[in-house]
Chains A and B, each alone.
Chain A
Amino acid sequence: DVKVTQSSRYLVKRTGEKVFLECVQDMDHENMFWYRQDPGLGLRLIYFSYDVKMKEKGDIPEGYSVSREKKERFSLILESASTNQTSMYLCASTGTSGRARTQYFGPGTRLTVL
């Protein structure tokens, strides 16, 4: 079974702190994604990575950066956390073979910024 793990289920940080959210997948997938999920807004794509050291902005990249130094690991960085970044963060991965490739999701990290 594909497994996508996220470093924390719950995280509480203070405004202005630098925050790292880690995601690891064990299926040798090329593509990895970071989303945020907010009530009434669904899932919105923050960043996408299609290979090691390669990244592409999603729909809401402002205030975020990412790092992908190894194929299995994709990190989301909040350079200076703000209260409007309080949200559920979901990581996903997918391979490159076949059509309509399934995205596999981690359990999510609920981040609260005080």
Chain B
Amino acid sequence: GDSVTQMEGPVTLSEEAFLTINCTYTATGYPSLFWYVQYPGEGLQLLLKATKADDKGSNKGFEATYRKETTSFHLEKGSVQVSDSAVYFCALTRGGGSEKLVFGKGTKLTVNP
């Protein structure tokens, strides 16, 4: 079945460091891919998304490119801030036009000043 694998956390960085969170997927067909973020004490919110191969999603300085050849959707940010401390989830749409998402297990990021 469809699945998402993302790098295990926790990840701890200093402010202004470069961030990469790896995400790979297994899916039939052509899923859409998402990154969601969960700030402490809150629900998830969409960070960015991509709907087809080679699309790049971007938001708030974060970027991810849909790579079909490597089945990956790695999240990157050039210079992280303390306010980026959160849990990040990679997700994909299930097959057959389903509304349902498959989520990775989440990666907790802590950014220290």
Question: What residues make up the interface of A, taking CB atoms closer than 8 Å to B?
Answer: 4, 31, 33, 40-45, 48, 50, 58, 90, 92, 94, 99-108
Q: Which of B36, B43, B49, B89 has the most CB of A within 10 A?
A: B43
Please indicate the chain A residues that have their CB under 8 angstroms from the CB of B49 in the complex: 100, 102
Partner of A105, one of B43, B51, B106: B43
Question: Chain B interface residue count: which class?
Answer: 20 to 34
CA distance A104 to B36 in the complex (A): 10
CA distance A40 to B9 in the complex (A): 10
**Additional 9 contacts, C-beta under 8 A, given A48-B100, A50-B99, A107-B41:** A42-B104, A42-B105, A43-B106, A90-B43, A99-B51, A100-B32, A102-B49, A105-B36, A105-B43
Q: List 14 A-B contacts (CB under 8 A).
A: A33-B100, A42-B105, A43-B103, A43-B106, A45-B101, A48-B100, A100-B34, A100-B49, A100-B51, A103-B44, A104-B45, A105-B36, A105-B44, A107-B43
Please indicate the chain B residues that have their CB under 8 angstroms from the CB of A43 in the complex: 44, 89, 103, 106
B17 interface residue (CB < 8 Å to A): no
C-beta contact mask, B53-84 vs A, less than 8 Å → 1, else 0? 00000000000000000000000000000000
Establish whether residues A99 and B32, one from each chain, have CB atoms under 8 Å apart when the complex forms. Answer: yes
CA distance A48 to B93 in the complex (A): 14
Partner of A94, one of B32, B44, B45, B99: B99
CA distance A33 to B32 in the complex (A): 18
Establish whether residues A48 and B99, one from each chain, have CB atoms under 8 Å apart when the complex forms. Answer: yes
Closest B residue to A41 by beta carbon equals B105
Establish whether residues B46 and A103, one from each chain, have CB atoms under 8 Å apart when the complex forms. Answer: yes
Nearest chain B CB to A19's CB is how many angstroms away? Answer: 19
CA distance A19 to B112 in the complex (A): 40
Please indicate the chain A residues that have their CB under 8 angstroms from the CB of B100 in the complex: 33, 45, 48, 58
Nearest chain B CB to A82's CB is how many angstroms away? Answer: 23
Please indicate the chain A residues that have their CB under 8 angstroms from the CB of B89 in the complex: 42-43
Closest B residue to A102 by beta carbon equals B46
